Amino acid sequence: MSGYQIGGEYQLMVPYSRVMRTLLMCSPLGLAACASGPKTPVVTLPPVAQAAPDDGLYKVGRPYQVEGLWYYPAEDYGYVQEGIASWYGADFHGKRTANGDRYDMNDITAAHPTLPMPSVVKVTNLDNGRTLKVTVNDRGPFHSKRIIDVSKKAAQLLGFYEAGTAHVRVEIDPEESLNLKNIALMKHPPEMPQIAAAPRNVVTAAALAPVVAGPIDAYARTPSAVQPVAIEPQPVAPPKPANAKTTGNIIKPVTPKAPAKPTVVAAAGGIFIQAGAFAEEANARKLEQQLGELGTVHIVPMTVNKRKLYRVRLGPVADALSATALLGKVKSYGYNDAKVVRE
């Protein structure tokens, strides 16, 4: 390569062949030639887990049983396990999760049988090497060989959306999990337990009669004329009922008004989750309100041994697999007597 000098500056002379080669590469013909060569791989960084849900509570939960298997929720910040991952989507989209958050299949979340909610786990797809951090805010899957159920979006990012399942390693992130715990507890502080005050003895004061002088006993050397004073008990009025009205000296109990009876809905045929059966319809209605976010709830009256009961059922569900998943969610709410029934 040669050069020349202009105004004290040395200028390089680029060979003509190199100039033409550069122009050719920049031309459409040259770009087409470049397109046929090897492509540079695009590297996408995995998204991090999301912040603590706005509606979700911090929850660990009590032990529960699904299809003969017991699950023991716990704060296990050393959790590492390999197994099968699956995903869930439209069937639960928009419904409440086990800790009260709203499930969105397009968020990066997951369901786990025992880890705290919310917590953060790193999921590695051992079939393709992809890694993703997800927020655990739900319970599931309830299958002996599956260890985590991720959202639809997470399954797409991990590369097993089409296959349905993948061999994965799940590792909890202690620092991020504790951070989410603190955020959730600040948003929704837990209620303090109500501790009853210790019972206190009632002390009654009574005046003693004055000491009367009398003959001194030679042995006891104490006055012998002191006699105990009997205190007559005063009559105590019976306690007034909390719901009573007083008219003069007569107490009239108030009869509570009977609540209006809502219409009882009968369930159609299919597969259902029976969460419980109650003798009082009011108790069945309470459970209906608690489980309403999980799906359609039916209250089905029945008579057993001349006794009327009200069964609370969810469904119908599409198949046995969906029934098992829904059963696990109901039991994770604390209703361990729930079961799958077919009509």
Q: What is the pLDDT of residue 72?
A: 93
pLDDT (tens digit per residue) in 137-164: 999 998 878 999 999 999 999 999 999 9
pLDDT (tens digit per residue) in 70-103: 899 999 999 999 999 999 988 889 888 998 899 9
Q: Do residues 174 and 80 both lie within one domain? A: yes
Among 77, 250, 269, 95, residue whose Cα is nearest residue 174: 77
In a domain, 123, yes or no: yes
Residues 138, 142, 148, 151, Cα dihedral to 10°: -50
Question: Which of 144, 165, 187 is where one domain is finished?
Answer: 187
In a domain, 322, yes or no: yes
pLDDT (tens digit per residue) in 237-275: 555 555 555 444 455 555 555 554 444 454 556 889 988
CATH code for the domain in which residue 168 is found = 2.40.40.10
Buried/exposed 201-232: b ≥16 CB within 10 Å, e otherwise: eeeeeeeeeeeeeeeeeeeeeeeeeeeeeeee
CATH code for the domain in which residue 289 is found = 3.30.70.1070
Q: How are beta strands 119-125 and 109-111 bridged, if at all?
A: unpaired
| Residue 111 predicted with pLDDT over 80 | yes
In a domain, 156, yes or no: yes
In a domain, 264, yes or no: no
In a domain, 59, yes or no: no
Give yes or no for a contact between 281 and 299, defined as CB atoms under 8 angstroms apart: yes
DSSP code of 293?
G
Q: Do residues 72 and 176 both lie within one domain? A: yes
Mean pLDDT across the chain: 74
Question: Which of 150, 165, 187 is where one domain is finished?
Answer: 187
pLDDT (tens digit per residue) in 121-137: 999 999 999 999 999 99
Q: What is the pLDDT of residue 211?
A: 58
Q: How are beta strands 307-317 and 119-125 bridged, if at all?
A: unpaired
Alpha helices in the chain (DSSP H): 16-26, 28-35, 152-158, 174-187, 281-291, 320-332
Give yes or no for a contact between 118 and 187, defined as CB atoms under 8 angstroms apart: no
Q: Model's pTM, two decimal places?
A: 0.51
pLDDT (tens digit per residue) in 309-329: 898 998 888 888 788 888 888
Q: Domain range holding 293? A: 271-342
Q: Do residues 75 and 183 both lie within one domain? A: yes
In a domain, 265, yes or no: no
Cα separation, 44 vs 60, in Å, equals 34
In a domain, 306, yes or no: yes
Q: What is the pLDDT of residue 269?
A: 66
**Structure-block tokens of residue 203:** 């002390």
Q: What is the pLDDT of residue 321?
A: 79
How far is C-alpha 136 from the geometric centre of its chain's CA atoms?
9
Number of structural domains (the chain) is 2
- Cis peptide upstream of residue 316 (ω within 30 degrees of 0): yes
**Structure-block tokens of residue 173:** 């992130």
Cα separation, 330 vs 113, in Å, equals 13
In a domain, 36, yes or no: no
Question: Which of 153, 187, 221 is where one domain is finished?
Answer: 187
